[in-house]
Amino acid sequence: MGKIIDCKQISLKIKSEVIEEVQKVKQDNNITPTVVSILVGNDYGSIYYHNMQDKTARELGINFIKANFDKNVTEEELLSCIRKYNDDKLIHGIMVLLPFPGNINKKKVLNAINPNKDIDCLTDICMGRLFKSDKIFYPCTANSVATIIDSLGIELEGKEAVIIGRSNIVGKPTAMMMLDRNTTVTLCHSRTRNLEGIASRADILISAIGKPKYINSNFIKKGAVVIDVGTSSLNGKITGDVDFDDVIDKVSYISTVPGGVGTLTTALLFKNLCEAVKKCI
């Protein structure tokens, strides 16, 4: 039977490191790391995430500023808000929560963020530098996947990693981070032929397609590491892409949903904030 990866323990270790960094920068430079989170409208998921970020930030000793706008906000009002915080030397990180109302040009707004304050790695500049292995910050979900895999202490060089899902938020940046670890990467998507056959070659299988329990034991190579990034609602419960009960006897390690990748993302976001502070000193 495969081992369940203790992602909560990994998250606690990251948070402990962040607390130390926050305390050090306060003591040495009289600076309190400060982040602004911009929320538009009343999307339930965004509000929940907004509040969870706030709670975690305060636990870590970080100043968290909420900039809330109603759904009728104009694009120019958002851009003006971002420009203000770009110019404010006491603000070290800027986050913009998605989704936006349809009247807002998402790409224009996100690219208005100063790349040195883009701790969520949403701007074209930060993403482009990641693809050149010249990162400013790592995207938090992709970094969560890589951090979980690193925590296992297994040899990665030359291993075959298959990623299912090619989004700009998860699939593509995860592929780049796995390439940086010298794995051989295959990036699959909805139009990939023989997906089951390709996945079953993988030493490391990462799924981020948002189809509940889609990945069964036929997709799994014996002894594979499986990282489940998918989150869907099934019968009122949050469910991952992987049919856990069907694959557990075939994997070596597996992350769960919930309790897996998502437990690390906020901690890693604030680790990025600490890196942003260093750029200001």
% of the chain exceeding 70 in pLDDT: 100
Q: Which residues participate in the annotated binding site for NADP(+)?
A: 165-167, 231
Whole-prediction pTM? 0.93
Q: What pLDDT sits at residue 236?
A: 87
Q: What pLDDT sits at residue 247?
A: 98
pLDDT(28) > 90: yes
| Residue-range domains of the chain with CATH | 29-116 (3.40.50.10860), 140-262 (3.40.50.720)
CA torsion 192→196→198→202, rounded to 10°?
130
Q: Which residues participate in the annotated binding site?
A: 165-167, 231
Q: How confident is the model over 68-102, as pLDDT tens digits?
A: 999 999 999 999 999 999 999 999 999 999 888 88
Between 253 and 234, the more confident residue is 253
Amino acid identity of residue 238, one-letter, is I
The string of DSSP letters for 132-197 reads TT--SS--HHHHHHHHHHHHTT---TT-EEEEE---TTTHHHHHHHHHTTT-EEEEE-TT-TTHHH
Between 83 and 278, the more confident residue is 83
Q: How confident is the model over 37-74, as pLDDT tens digits?
A: 999 998 888 888 899 899 999 999 999 999 999 999 99
pLDDT(281) > 90: no
pLDDT level of residue 279 (50, 70, 90 thresholds): confident
Structure tokens at 215: 């990945």
- Give the Cα separation of 139 and 271 in Å (integer): 11
Q: What pLDDT sits at residue 49?
A: 87
Enumerate the H helices of the chain as residue ranges.
7-29, 44-60, 75-87, 106-110, 124-131, 140-151, 171-179, 195-199, 244-247, 262-280
